[in-house]
Amino acid sequence: MAETVRHQIERIQAEMQSRPAGLIEHSKRVAAEAIKIGQYWDVDAERLELASWGHDLFRHEPDERQLQLAREAGVAVGLEDRRSPIVLHGPIAASVMEHRFGVDDRDVLEAVRDHTLGLAEMSLIAKIILLADKVEPRKRKRDPAMKLIRKLAWRDLDAALLCWADWKWVEERQHGYESHPRHWSARVHWVREHHFEIDAADLRLESVLRAPVC
C-alpha cells in the first residue's frame, strides 16, 4: 500500500526532532502560515504541511556540509552556490524527501527545492511555501514589509512574489550582496509577466472603450 501524505509528514517531523529547536519552531510557523494562505487558494492542507516540514531539513548545516550533502544527493552545484552554500539546503531536502522518504508529489518537491530563490514558473504550492517561509509571524515582527506582502498573498500570489523579490533586491543592494543568478532570472521573469498582464488589461479596456455603443 502506498504511504499516505500524513505518514510522510509524521516521518519527516520525526526526522526534524534532531534539528535545532529554533528550526523546528520555524517549520511549525511556516506550516500554519502556509495552511492559512492555502485556504484562500483551495490548496490541500496536508500537501502544504508536508512541504513546510521538509523545506528546512538541512538549513542548519554549515557550508562545507551543505556542499558534501549536495554531492551525495546528486544536486548540481554552480559557482554561485559555492559562494553561498546555504542556498543548497532546499534542493538537498527535496532530493532526500524523494529518495529517502518516498515523496513523489512533484509540486511539493518543487516547493521545497525552490523556496529560497524562487523559479520563473512555479506551482501554486511552491508559491505559497516560499511566501509562508518569508511572512511567518517571527519574520513579520522583524520586518513590517512582510505584513504587507502577507496581506497581498491572500488576493494575488504573483504580485506578492514580485513584491518580495523587490524587497530582497533592496536588501541585497543595501548590504552589498550579489543576487543569485537563479533568483535574478526568476525576478526578471516575474517583472515581465507582471507588465505583460498590465498591458493586456489596458488593451482589453481600450477595446471596450472603443466598442460601438448600441
Encoded amino acid at 170, one letter: V
CATH number of the domain at 5-210, please?
1.10.3210.10
User: Percent of the chain at pLDDT above 90?
Assistant: 86
> Tell me: the pLDDT tens digits for 66-82?
999 999 999 999 999 99
Distance, CA of 84 to CA of 115 (rounded, Å):
15
Encoded amino acid at 59, one letter: R
> Tell me: the pLDDT tens digits for 107-125?
999 999 999 999 999 999 9
Are 92 and 114 in contact by the 8 Å Cβ rule? The answer is no
- The per-residue pLDDT for 208 is 34
Kindly state the cell numbers that stand for 214.
448600441
Which residues does 199 contact at the CB level (< 8 Å), separation at least 6? Answer: none
- The per-residue pLDDT for 79 is 94
Mean residue pLDDT of the chain comes to 91
Sequence ranges of the domains in the chain: 5-210
Asked whether the predicted pLDDT for residue 13 surpasses 70, the reply is yes
Kindly state the cell numbers that stand for 30.
511556516
